[in-house]
Structure 1
Amino acid sequence: MVFLKISLLSGGFLLSPLICLANYTSYHTFHPISWMHALPVGETPGWSSKNWVNYEFSQGNVWNLPIEMLNTTNNQTLEYSADLGQTSQILELGTTLFDQLSVSLELSFAQRNGGLFDNLIDEFHVLIGNDRFGRDNYPENQTTLSIKSDGQEKVNQDIQSGLSNLKLKFKYWPWKWEGRRKATCPCGFAVSSQFKFPVSQADTGLTSTGIDSSLLLHLGAPLFDASGIWLTGGLTYAPENPLLEGWPRFEWLQMYELSSQLSIGKNWSFIIQVRVESPLMDRNQLGVLNAETEEEIRLVASSWNSLGYWRGTESIGFNYRGSKGSSFQLLIIEDFTPGGLESDGDDSFFVYNAPDLMFMLQAYVLF
């Protein structure tokens, strides 16, 4: 069996064929620090074949304009900016050891490039009459990831690509509850563990260099003939990141994702997914020294939201499934984060632009 996932996103393109479909693995995001730690994503509890090869190709866009902050615990001056595109590839090889136990290896590769979709996203904001969030004040097609502590640059600006991390993944599937139609929902309950090992140097900005470990719980249920819903909750221990040494960084990171595929008639399904991830930094120990003067710009366009608040993505779309199980899926994905303007106590939601808006086309081909 082969799973082919192709996505077109305003922040990028995603092409990911999953051979011998083991399980449904959710989309990987492009936040630079999330990528360093290879943070886990949602998955169905189980798998539907003995062996598999997963391959993912993606192009994403990140827009976090420069911000200067003060670490109030040690008076260290911190600077962060990310304005780049990233081409990512993820290869996963997996097999079942026993009926209820599987193991897989996942290798990630990244190549940073100019912001391929800078102009497209900016023009879209102009078209809908939305704020441009400072995009018009900076040149397009930049390749910038800068992390500074007391003025010292931590990221080697001459290295833009390379292998990032290797992950070892185990999944135990004690309770199986599968859908009536094959491969629609390998559900039930499962527990999985993941271990991330660096395969690059810290100054590349591609890895955190430390060994991170994650524990995930997976719960899912088939609905009707060809529908399903599954929930993933994960906790990651990320003890090291030399690029962020001395920063008020959280070492324990959470992730929760809800995915559903709701059948509409014989061949069509409605897709909706929501994922939230816990903050990377303790914003209560950070003070803003220099950023855009407008508070809304500081929250949305700079890294203040993407570092100090919960990060979320949601997707909606439709799936067409053929008689033999192959399917095609179109998704629209957007990022969001709670926060609001601190001056008026507004509790509305904002975005964090790491990555920006996505349009995704997926094709699941089984044979």
Structure 2
Amino acid sequence: MSIFHQDAFFWRLIHLTRSLSNETDKWKLFGSILDECQNVTFCDGATLYLLEEDEEGMRLDFAMAQNKSLGLNQKFCEPGQSALTPINIHPSDSDTSQTQSIAAYCALQNKSVCVEDAYCTNQFNVSGIKNFDDLFDYKTRSVLSVPVAKPNQKVLGVIQLINPQNPLSGTVARYSESQITIVEALASLLATILESAKLEQSEGELLIRLSQPKAADAIFERVLDEAMRVSRADGATIYWLCKQLPQRLEFVALKNTSLNLSLSPAESEANTIAPLLLEINGEANLHNVATFTAISKQVVNIDDAYNNTTFDFSGMKSFDQQHGYTSRSFLSVPLMNHEQEVIGVMQLINARNAFTQEVVPFAPRLEPIVKALASYAAMTLENDLLLHPVSEEKNPGFRAQR
């Protein structure tokens, strides 16, 4: 592809970005991206997979498929509507490509994969491609799979293009480096739009769930569950701000998946969790992550607590030693009410990679949704406590805040 054609594309990309940024019909969005991929590469077919996850594991679901030779232009709204079965992803096989399809390997490795002839490769499992060919009496040769992800970010799906055509002879050609680069730019654009839409949808769903009537303990549990789900955190803790002197953060709820631990203030083990004073010897306690968050009203994101010298993690290290655990990544978020007053702090611990389950830092892109969740939770909790006051004797985590 000449430099002129690349320049022309980037102008089209700017126009496409503007036109799609406000697109509310996801099928038009998907179709526009796939159309542009086909226009750039002259490929015969294009498929979009979206990464889904449930209790059975991760998979790539068909979202849309287009093929010029077959006259195929199909969207799949719900699982099971397509004759094409989802592609299951097995993280344990991430070190070898032979047990994975091209698209699954692309998603696992978060990198583009180009195969010149699918029927001649022994690097990948191409049974899905052969099933497609048998179903539609087609012959797939050249395959390009590109992850739908922003640079160094979570994979949201895969764009797979097949059989690029030589525009002069009509024969199957090869993907050029410039074509691959442009498709990667389109995939990144799609990831940006999808991510924004998912954040808005998640915030709306969380608001609905949290607004449902529940007892305070149930609300805390729901907040922790939702926060851990959206952030892939292994553990989470909520502290409640007690404004009676000395002002302090008191533990009210804790969950940890690896330790199979779920604590509330009513349980005996919770009594060993000491309150965190906001002042020590008349000075603001900025040495503890939770108290710093409460005082500064700032989100704190720490990649590795054991290599952090800014805060005092002696309490965390004691917890780790007691439970045989290793806390690494931290995300500490203030619980703010409608008057923008801090009424507590939520801490998330040990974000996990979706594929390898290794502990990783919390992605900055998660901060807005976790912060929004914390705000919704704070307002819901405060409203609940106003309507249903809990005595200190019944629940020491809810001492008066007046």
Same fold by TM (over 0.5)?
no
Larger Rg: 2
Larger relative contact order, structure 1 or 2 (CA cutoff 8 Å, min sep 6): 1
- Structure with the higher fraction of residues in helix conformation: 2
